[in-house]
């Protein structure tokens, strides 16, 4: 992890990111909110980076290809579960969620609208000043611990977070201002962490299609 504490501009961060190795994290303290906005504009679509901002502290993680593979495997299971359960769901990939009033911003590996899906269907742009936050955020933790993002998610009002370290999935639900670990999803009733782990283990050995098939068959047998 690399840390910068002096007054830093978004241009300097853009340059530093070019030399950030996969799995490394850049932390900048005292980073201005307006500079954060300029940085987001400057980075555009950078699929290998994940940014979070919390009251002047900026963190940038450079992810690996394996990181994205894990997120893709999880998304396949979420889509399968929703289809089989006839749950309306809208995926919003790795969108950036931010509120200037709170000076907080975060970018998940994937996020989904479920209970609020009908409120955002058809919307090209979602603003948290007017629209609800996503109902579920997914964090893949292969090289870092994403729990430092939890206070940001809580402030923004994200009801549920999944954290996957490549071996185990942990589910967290928002209780007032903090997250509590649970064994079953509240956004996707009937889906347990054990079933997710079993399916993901199959994905690693037999492939994502086999994992989705296993999930579907297990759901039908219950």
Position 34 scores a pLDDT of 94
CATH number assigned to the domain with residue range 65-221, chosen from the 4 options 1.10.3470, 1.10.150, 3.90.1570, 3.30.300: 3.90.1570
Q: What is the pLDDT of residues 187-206, one digit of tens each?
A: 999 999 999 999 999 999 99
Per-domain residue ranges for the chain?
Answer: 1-62, 65-221
Q: Which two tokens stand for residue 160?
A: 């549920």
Cβ atoms of 139 and 163 closer than 8 Å: yes
Alpha-carbon span 49 to 66, nearest angstrom: 13
What phi and psi values does residue 54 have, to the nearest 5 degrees?
-140, 95
Q: What is the pLDDT of residues 123-174, one digit of tens each?
A: 988 999 999 999 999 999 987 888 999 999 999 999 999 999 999 999 999 9
Confidence of residue 20 (pLDDT cuts 50, 70, 90): confident
Alpha-carbon span 121 to 215, nearest angstrom: 26
Phi-psi sector, 176: left (phi>0), alpha (psi -120 to 50), beta: left
What phi and psi values does residue 33 have, to the nearest 5 degrees?
-60, -45
* Pick from 47-51, 55-59, 116-120, 189-193: least confident: 47-51
Q: Is the pTM of this model over 0.75?
A: yes
Q: Which two tokens stand for residue 108?
A: 């998940």
**Strand blocks (E) in 63-191:** 90-91, 96-99, 104-107, 110-113, 136-140, 160-164, 169-175, 178-182
């Amino acid at each position: 992890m690399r840390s910068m504490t002096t007054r830093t501009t978004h241009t300097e961060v853009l340059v530093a990111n070019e030399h950030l190795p996969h799995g490394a994290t850049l932390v900048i303290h005292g980073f201005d909110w307006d500079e954060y906005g300029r940085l987001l504009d400057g980075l555009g679509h950078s699929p290998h980076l994940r940014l979070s901002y919390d009251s002047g502290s900026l963190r940038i993680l450079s992810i690996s290809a394996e990181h994205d593979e894990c997120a893709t495997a999880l998304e396949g299971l979420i889509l399968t579960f929703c289809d089989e359960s006839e749950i309306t769901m809208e995926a919003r990939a790795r969108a950036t969620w931010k509120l200037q009033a709170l000076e907080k911003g975060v970018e998940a590996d994937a996020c989904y609208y479920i209970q609020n899906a009908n409120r955002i269907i058809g919307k090209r742009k979602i603003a948290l000043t007017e629209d609800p936050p996503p109902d579920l955020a997914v964090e893949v933790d292969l090289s870092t611990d994403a729990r430092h993002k939890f206070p940001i998610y809580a402030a923004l009002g994200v009801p549920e977070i999944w954290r996957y370290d490549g071996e185990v999935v942990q589910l967290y639900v928002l209780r007032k201002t903090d997250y509590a670990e649970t064994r079953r999803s509240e956004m996707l009733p009937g889906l347990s962490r054990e079933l997710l782990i079993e399916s993901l283990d199959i994905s690693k050995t037999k492939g994502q299609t086999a994992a989705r098939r296993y999930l579907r068959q297990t759901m039908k047998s219950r």
